[in-house]
Structure 1
């Protein structure tokens, strides 16, 4: 049998091995490991391994220090109290082109990503940052809110990872619009401009909503690096950066090419308005508010914290809103009027002082001058600071004789100089000071408050702090008391002759008192209206003698005067020292038909959420009858019709011959004005109190020391020193029709029994005399 042949084995070919397989395998292993590593790194970052991460509650409500705003009665922000000058705005308050400029420049794909721009990140990694960074707006906000600066490269890398994590959390927690708003509210634009609202005001004098495109482009350009692109230090660089922002806006079709070209052609135009405590408007008033708020905070605690401790509001951090009565327009006009007149008056004073060997004082001995300097040293801020540093009294006194660099005030701007602190005391003593306060008699709301000529260099407030001798501006209180008690008419006459009030009478205890008239005129009779218009001292003394000083003092106190007034005869001529704020409140009683309304400066306080924390309650009281108040006003109208205030009616600028300096102004007022000038002994103080039916304004001008004054009454009287400020202020107010300052007559009471029409009064008297002669009545 034949042997079977075995089957041949089937041979299979092994596929050729791929030499790249192991590389592919390692690539995917590396890639997966990289992804895993990144995930672990992000997980570790979110767990706080690389640094503390914000809690959910912190993301929900990031803590920022917010400035307290002072808001005027016409809705303008006139100041802030702050640790960081940040005033938050809502998204709706941002102009569209500001948001568009931000997106075009900082994050073109802002609405497409969720916190991290993948394309931008890869581009930054590939080109090592040479073609732009990868930070989105959300990441920049994360850095501002939670990470801050880094000390080394490793820390910067870990912080970058933290920013990515926080950015994605922010994107989940907030809308895109809210993130933009938070970012712009947070950024520090330098020069105390933290946040877009402060930056808009400080660099351009506007609210964000009022910005123009090129102005918005400047602020967006600063977001890259506000220290580098600082408009005050590098305006050319800032303009170039602004043009880059405008080019980006055109690139992403937010503006057209012609619009871009026309905007880039514009010059860089700033309206720099610093907001430090010594800068801006209403500086003296803001210091009053700060002091008032310090007392209010102590009396009105927030509540208790988790530890059961009492918490108090912080006006520098809590973002309160203080609504005040000041009208920003009136405040501006008051400051302008003060600056204009005081700069003029100081020129004249300086020229006259060149002939004064004891300048800036008059009628003082060397010993008295030395006493003034020593007193100024004792009360100086420099001494207080050195005392706090533990310096001895000898060291402190010696330092006032050592020359040092300093900035000093001048009417042409600050001057850098070198002088001793003692010399600077004498330098500042030569400047005349001033104060102005204006309020609505019916509401008590204070509309303007100018406490001095420059808060940075002269911080003493001559509205609320300074009490000075009031002179003849006190006489209306004397007349009003006499009218109220004796029912006298402005048309009644009294002899001008001298009167002597004997020792012991009406509080005069040392000598007989025989007041004198200016010009020593003592013959004939004058009506009360003419006597007040001419400020005749002997007639004021006669009225005081008939009613006594005590009722006059009581009336003044009822009208809100709190300073101590001794009930002595000499108060008839204004020997008492009073504050300007007291005088304005008291005079307003006359314009308000005998009703005293306590001056009010703060109407309400709100927290950052708009909850009302304080609401003022008006305080009023009846003081004198409507009739007596109206007759007193009628008397004071005579001052501006024929007395020392008649220059308010003039049509031409008043010139004085001394060195041909102009100190008068063409006011040309034709409406009813009641007022009274005041001039004190040796021309140390000049006053003018002026009223129209809905506005009472008082002005004081004088030296820091009573020995600093004009030599003669030509310039040293209230009509020359203080009245021009009132006139300039009112002229500006009348020019602004939105203010509705009254030009009407003062309201006359019904059934007025006291005659105020002197022509009719004389005619009736003659008729009575004729009847008496004919019938023997």
Structure 2
């Protein structure tokens, strides 16, 4: 009897002890959660932080037709709304990561118990909400078992709070907007664009499954790395199986999708990659200035890299694509010929300069390089720096066939890059000032110097229309007025001439007879242009181009400007020419329509700037002069390219295969500078003006002869291909109409039969029949 009593007493003690331990365990766990919620185990988010979790949002640059041109970011995240997610993406996420997502309140008790019993061998217990709390508010990088336990407790507490604060759809959206998919693909929108080149709503089921597969481990299930592609396919197929299990896919659909390849279209979004890179660099500088002048209401500064601004630009996505395609196609072809002609050039890529001048150019390039500047900032002496430029190192070089990995000294790489022809190209709408296309060079990653607005180059004969426009506006000259095609001298002391100035005609062109202004501009006759500026004076021409938007601060009032000696940017030249197409009204070019914050509040709205510069009559007469260039002058190949393809073999290798055959009215002008250092073409139709410059970074980098060195060969083909693609695209509203004739036209523009013959190609200057000779 005593033994039984003793046994019962002992059993009761065990039971009591168990319940006491259990109670203390529960209380202890509860206490841990309370301490965590009070912040005793580390900082916890406040209610305000839960309401507005801090994130770094990328600023987006958007084209006028709604396409994303690029982003500025520290973290490439562009958040989207739940409505922008396809249903199958959400279904894949819930099926794979949290099957009971819609029934729990942040913590899946059933999943947690299973994970505890099986030690995680049958799946983890983290809900989507817990994973979000880890991404937003906890530090998963702390090591040690105790720290991991504390992190997990904080994660649970935050998850419950998030469930109280947000709807289920909001939690899913926040999680997908926050997750880092690698390669600067932070958030589902960036991931969709980078891995599949499409918006999330456009993802297919298997593409959604591929991205959801990455949520488990983005490195291990990376779909673009060869060593992980097998893992990616297997994990994707497991996601599809989970979708079948949860009733979102039939077995037949699941089986067919599992047989598909990954089908990625990888397109990283780095600052140097993608569309309109030079334009985006310009926008970046614009934004820096705007941010300096426009603080937030609380006095702090906006950030391009964290505030999720949206910059709506004037650039047309399709037109920009056509511009970049034209540049690449022509310069890739032209560069081959340029390299071929330099094979026998002992000073390549330079011409007509001494070894000491070459060394000076290379040393200047060294001192302008980022490498040199960085080392100088670190206090390294100049001799040591220069020594590093003569030691070989591994580097990646640009080529038109793709990047080249090689060993080369930095100094030799500078000479290598000097050998490339480069370009600047801009397109704008004359009536509004909207910039539609902007190509600042051949490759922003390798050539940072920008050739639309930053660079200024000698403009050659593209300057002559300004001289003619001044004479038409002030003296009411007519395209039909005739001048003698004979040598002409402006004496010393007149129009800034320091000694008697007698310009020659281009390429030894023949003298004799009379020429109309229309013929003189089409054939780029220097002597007649000199006669015209002698009548107007250079001051009047400079005054005109200043009103046309050209920076005239470094243009001296001398007669020689008539032949194109000033250095002017492509941006200013297109701006100025646009005034002729816009009936004499100059509209300042602009690139930024408006800026919005992440809440779509408008922070900036462009205000047009325009001014009357020329009479409508003078502008139209100038246009008619420029039409003559493309009818029977150096721009004629835009209409009858096949005639020119019959030229020399040298010429054929460079420019055949560009069948423009444009039949509509085009006003334009080519330009070529001394020694063929610069080639220009600026062309206009009624609602689009486009300018192109092509040349080497240094003026001594050039073709040896006018055959290739003229504007009609260097620059005009880019314009021709660009406009051909635009006209072939039925969605773009670019005019094929004639320029509108003013009602009050009093200046004669319809010339005599000789000019008509010239328009029909029967009276061309012999020197310009095959090639333009134009300085």
Normalised by the size of structure 2, how large is the TM-score? Answer: 0.94
Q: Where do 1:392-471 residues align within 5 Å?
A: 392-471=381-460
Determine the C-alpha separation between the residues in 2 that align with 1:434 and 1:558. 26
Match of 1:568 in 2: 558
Q: Aligned with 1:734: secondary structure? A: helix
Q: Does 1:107 align with 2:98?
A: yes
Whose radius of gyration is greater, 1 or 2?
1
* 1:119 Cα deviation from its structure 2 partner: 1.0
Residues 1:712 and 2:702 are matched in the alignment: no
Cα distance, 1:391–1:762 mapped onto 2, change above 3 Å: closer
Classify the secondary structure of the residue corresponding to 2:45.
coil
1:91 aligns with 2:82: yes
Counterparts of 1:31-70 in structure 2 under 5 Å? 31-70=22-61
**1:513 Cα offset (Å):** 3.1
How far off is 1:693 after superposition?
A: 0.7
| Structure-2 separation of matches of 1:560 and 1:474 | 14
**What is the aligned counterpart of 1:127 among 108, 118, 127?**
118
Q: Distance in 2 between matches of 1:159 and 1:238?
A: 29
Work out the CA distance in 2 between the residues paired with 1:479 and 1:69.
44
Q: State the secondary structure of the residue aligned to 2:334.
A: helix
Other-structure match for 2:73: 82
Instruction: Within 5 Å, give how 1:568-717 maps onto structure 2.
Output: 568-650=558-640, 652=642, 654=645, 656-658=648-650, 661-664=653-656, 665-717=658-710
The equivalent of 2:771 in structure 1 is none
Q: 1:389 to 1:16 in 2, by over 3 A?
A: closer
Q: Give the Å deviation of 1:15.
A: 14
Q: In the alignment, which residue of structure 2 is the partner of 1:188? A: 180
Q: Is the 8 A contact 1:431 1:703 kept in 2?
A: yes
- Please name the residue that 2:139 is paired with: 148
Aligned residues of 2:519 and 2:755 also touching (Cα < 8 A)? no
1:228 equivalent in structure 2 = 220
1:491 touches 1:761 (CA, 8 Å); kept in 2? no
What do residues 536-556 of structure 1 show as CA deviations (whole Å, max 9, x unaligned)?
111111111111111111110
Give, in angstroms, the shift of residue 613 of structure 1. Answer: 1.1
CA RMSD of aligned residues (A): 1.8
Residue 210 of structure 2 corresponds to which residue in structure 1? 218
Superposition pairs for residues 257-268 of structure 1, below 5 Å? 257-268=251-262
Aligned residue number for residue 518 of structure 1: 507
Structure 2: where are the runs of 5+ without partners?
757-775
The range that moved more, 317-326 or 175-184, is 317-326
**Contact 1:439/1:446 (CA < 8 Å) preserved in 2?**
yes
- Which deviations, in whole Å up to 9, do the C-alpha atoms of 1:188-216 show, x marking residues without a partner? 11101111111111111111112121111
Q: What residue number does 1:766 align with?
A: none
Q: Distance in 1 between matches of 2:685 and 2:170?
A: 50
- Conserved? CA contact 2:630–2:636, under 8 Å: yes
**1:287 correspondence with 2:277:** no
- Match among 487, 496, 499 for residue 488 of structure 2: 499
Separation in 1, partners of 2:667, 2:254: 58
How far the C-alpha of 1:357 sits from its partner, in A, is 1.3
Given that 2:490 and 2:501 are in contact with CA atoms closer than 8 Å, whether structure 1 keeps it comes out as yes
Question: After superposition, what is the alpha-carbon deviation per residue over 1:376-407, rounded to whole angstroms, capped at 9, x for unaligned?
Answer: 11211111011111111110111111111111
2:338 counterpart residue number: 349
1:733-761 CA-to-partner distances (Å, cap 9, x unmatched) read 11222221111111111131112222589
In structure 2, how many angstroms separate the alpha carbons of the residues matched to 1:659 and 1:469?
25
Tell me how far apart the structure 1 counterparts of residues 576 and 256 of structure 2 sit (CA, whole Å): 58
CA distance in 2, matches of 1:406, 1:250: 50
1:170 maps to 162
Q: Which of these residues, 194, 199, 217, is aligned with residue 202 of structure 1?
A: 194
Distance in 2 (CA, whole Å) between partners of 1:740 and 1:261 is 47
- Secondary structure of the 1:737 match is coil
Deviation (angstroms), 1:243: 1.5
> Secondary structure in 2 aligned to 1:329?
helix
- Distance, in Å, in 2 between the alignment partners of 1:386 and 1:680 is 38
CA contact 1:503–1:513 (8 Å) conserved in 2: no
Match for residue 232 of structure 2?
Answer: 238
Shift of 1:14: 10
Counterpart secondary structure, 1:311: coil
Deviation at 1:276?
1.2
When normalised by structure 1's length, the TM-score is 0.94
Shift of 1:263: 1.7
What is the deviation of 1:21? 4.6
In structure 2, distance between residues paired with 1:210 and 1:78: 18
Q: Is the contact between residue 89 and residue 205 of structure 2 (CA under 8 Å) also seen in structure 1?
A: yes
Which stretch of structure 1 is more off in the superposition, 178-187 or 292-301? Answer: 292-301
Cα displacement string for residues 480-533 of structure 1 (whole angstroms, at most 9, x for unaligned residues): 111111222222222111111111111111343333333331111122112211
Equivalent of residue 128 in structure 2, options 133, 137, 153 = 137
Match of 2:508, SS state, is coil
Deviations 1:117-140 (A, max 9, x none): 111111100000001000000000
1:263–1:471 CA distance, 2 compared to 1 (3 A) = same
Are 1:528 and 2:517 counterparts? yes
> Which piece of structure 1 moves more, 524-533 or 718-727?
524-533
Cα distance in 1 for residues equivalent to 2:525 and 2:255: 72
User: Do the aligned residues in 1 keep the contact of 2:108 with 2:125 (CA within 8 Å)?
Assistant: yes
For 1:505, what is the secondary structure of its paired residue? coil
How far apart, CA to CA, are the structure 2 residues paired with 1:327 and 1:183? Answer: 33
Distance 1:730 1:254 in 2: 49
* Cα distance change, pair 243–654 in 1 and its aligned pair in 2 (3 A): farther
1:497 and 1:702 mapped to 2: Cα distance? 32
